[in-house]
Amino acid sequence: MNVLEKLEPLELFRYFEDICNIPHGSNNLLKLKEYLKDFAKKNELFCKEDEAGNIFIYKDASEGYEGEAAVLLQAHMDMFIEDSYDYDAKRDLNKEGLLLSIIDDYIYSKGSSLGALDGVGMSYILSILSDKKLKHPKIEALFTCDRYPKMSGVLGLDTKLITSRRLISFDHYREREILNSSAGSRKVLCKVPVRYKEKTGVVYDLVICGLSGGHSGLEIDQYRGNANIILGRLLHSIDLHMKFDLFYIKGGMQYDSIPREAKASILIKEENINALEDIVADFDRDLQKEYYQIEDNLTIYCENKGEDTCQCIKDRLKQRVIFLLMTIPDGIVKLCPKMQNIVQTSLNTGIIELVKNEFVVHISIRSQLTSEKHALSDKLQYLTETIGGSYIVEENYHSWEYARYSKLREIFSDTYFKAYGKHLIERGTHDSLECGVITDKIRDMDVVVMGVDVDNVNTTKERVSISSIQHSYDFIVAVLEALKSN
């Protein structure tokens, strides 16, 4: 028995469960592509795969819509895999499908993320393509590959396969609102050379942990603590009061994740033990005040590991490490002046680590405006190179900038008001979306991004609302019918 087989619309939820049963993490899309190609064949629809691995499926206009402009429907094929080893360490989501479960109005995946972005979007598109009763203009369906981690599919998109200049994307996690812009991003490496000298002393581990973390494109406006930046402040506080040597530092897991934990290991003289522990205790009390009601589980502590001899960073170079961590902008750099509570420009110090003879910092820069993204990147480059470091741009994604007028947004708003008697919410997102790349390649593309209610996106607690899937599907069907000239 399929878990979702009794949910309406039957076909829509059948497609969603089919997708969930197929392993489809990034760079593991072969089976899902075959599924899409088989779908197109069964429904007698033309299908093509471009050189980047994106899948296109085309459906002719319904009767009465033959003269209307085509519309492009887009969703990405891959899901972000986050699984819990505590649930079932033997499960391999690169080889097995998800274990779906229904609790009240929500669909979960047991022990892992759900991939609702963009599994639900793909299901919408397949339902629209297969339903011969719907009214709509010609549909060009685009299933992009490898959204995570580098958007390689859309970056290699063959735009010659697209004639439409209207794009509806399903890469959003809230019903009752549409997106009208998204941030561009730049992922960079700051590298500061270090050299070592053998030192002997009492080893102390300095630990920052218990922070909430989150996605730097979605939760950066929550003012959550960045463990890497906090660790830099702690090292600076210690440096103000005593001499110490640094031989280990590491924090964070990904460019785009706000770091939850960071650790440094230092050497001090035995007579400074009590003073160090007092400094760390005072620092902890200060930070608890700063993050009151933001970070309830923030923990800062030090641990005496005994006397040892270690290869420590030379003092002059240690100062450069601390300087960089103390001067890198943290979190929100600028709020959007015209849209309340929307972050316009931000910076996330995602990973710090010692790699052989270099201190390496992995940073994600985001901005709704391309010019501000470049300006912040230039500032960071200047800062890094001033202390003898090197600056490398690893990835660069274009922003989808707000258009003052959009006919497609107008149709969405009018259709929503007619259906529900309420105004549809419009807003921008600080996340970097594939439509930013598409609008850079096709400059006159009119874009709307919509979605369904998804909580805890890309985590093991991810869940999607069943009623929201149903409501949003009815809405997109009504929008397609409204794409008709008067």
What is the rounded average pLDDT of the residues 275-292? 98
- 392 and 411 in one domain? no
Q: Which residue carries 């529900």 as its tokens?
A: 420
For residue 349, the domain's CATH number is: 3.30.70.360
- 140 and 30 in one domain? yes
Confidence of residue 218 (pLDDT cuts 50, 70, 90): confident
The pLDDT score that the predictor gives to residue 214 is 86
The pLDDT score that the predictor gives to residue 336 is 86
- 103 and 208 in one domain? no
How far apart are the C-alpha atoms of 141 and 162, rounded to whole Å?
9
> pLDDT per residue over 343-391, tens digit each?
999 999 999 999 999 999 999 999 999 899 999 999 999 999 999 999 9
In sequence order, the 6+-apart residues with CB closer than 8 A to the CB of 285 are none
Say how many domains are in the chain.
2
- 210 and 86 in one domain? no
Total-model pTM: 0.85
Residue 209 Cα distances to 118, 224, 262, 297, angstroms: 32, 13, 7, 8
296's tokens: 């309830």
The pLDDT score that the predictor gives to residue 341 is 74
143's tokens: 């299933």
Does residue 1 belong to any structural domain of this protein? no
Q: Quick one: 44 exposed, middle or buried, by C-beta within 10 A (0-12, 13-18, 19+)?
A: exposed
- 165 and 96 in one domain? yes
What is the rounded average pLDDT of the residues 462-485? 96
Does residue 5 belong to any structural domain of this protein? no
**Cβ neighbour number for residue 409 with a 10 Å cutoff:** 18
- 116 and 219 in one domain? no
Are 427 and 70 a contacting pair, CB within 8 Å? no
Does residue 424 belong to any structural domain of this protein? yes
| 214 against 464, higher pLDDT | 464
> pLDDT per residue over 37-52, tens digit each?
999 999 999 999 999 9
| 90 against 390, higher pLDDT | 390
381's tokens: 């480059």
Q: Quick one: 449 exposed, middle or buried, by C-beta within 10 A (0-12, 13-18, 19+)?
A: buried
Mean pLDDT for the chain overall = 95
b/e code 235-268 from CB counts within 10 Å (16+ = b):
beebbeeeebbbbbbbbbebbbbbbbbbbbbbbb
- 440 and 338 in one domain? no
- What domain range includes position 366? 186-397
How far apart are the C-alpha atoms of 236 and 379, rounded to whole Å?
22
Does residue 70 belong to any structural domain of this protein? yes
Confidence of residue 91 (pLDDT cuts 50, 70, 90): confident
How far apart are the C-alpha atoms of 185 and 183, rounded to whole Å?
6
- 168 and 100 in one domain? yes
Does residue 431 belong to any structural domain of this protein? yes
User: Which spans in 368-422 are helix H?
Assistant: 370-386, 407-420
Does residue 385 belong to any structural domain of this protein? yes
3-state secondary structure 63-89: CCCCCCCCEEEEEECCECCCECCCCCC
How big is the chain, counted in residues? 486
Q: Which residue carries 């902008």 as its tokens?
A: 329
| 214 against 441, higher pLDDT | 441
454's tokens: 């998804």
- 143 and 222 in one domain? no
For residue 415, the domain's CATH number is: 3.40.630.10
The pLDDT score that the predictor gives to residue 359 is 98
Q: Which of 368, 397, 426 is the last residue of a domain?
A: 397
Farthest CA pair distance, the chain: 87
Assess whether pLDDT exceeds 80 at residue 89: no
DSSP string, 315-369: HHHHHHHHHHHHHS--EEEEE-TTSTT-EEEEEEEEEEEEETTEEEEEEEEEESS
Assess whether pLDDT exceeds 90 at residue 193: yes
In sequence order, the 6+-apart residues with CB closer than 8 A to the CB of 444 are 165
Does residue 3 belong to any structural domain of this protein? no
How far apart are the C-alpha atoms of 250 and 262, rounded to whole Å?
6
Does residue 2 belong to any structural domain of this protein? no
299's tokens: 């923990």
- In percent, the amount of the chain with pLDDT more than 90 equals 87
- 118 and 136 in one domain? yes
Highest mean predicted confidence (pLDDT) among 119-133, 243-257, 446-460: 119-133
Q: Which of 397, 432, 448 is the last residue of a domain?
A: 397
Confidence of residue 486 (pLDDT cuts 50, 70, 90): low
In sequence order, the 6+-apart residues with CB closer than 8 A to the CB of 219 are 212, 258
Strand bridging mode 166-172 / 71-76: parallel
> pLDDT per residue over 111-158, tens digit each?
999 999 999 999 999 999 999 999 999 999 999 999 988 899 999 999
b/e code 336-371 from CB counts within 10 Å (16+ = b):
beebeebbbbbbbbbbbbbeeebbbbbbbbbbbbbe
The pLDDT score that the predictor gives to residue 87 is 59
What is the rounded average pLDDT of the residues 248-264? 93
- 119 and 107 in one domain? yes
Assess whether pLDDT exceeds 70 at residue 88: no
Q: Which of 349, 371, 397 is the last residue of a domain?
A: 397
Confidence of residue 421 (pLDDT cuts 50, 70, 90): very high
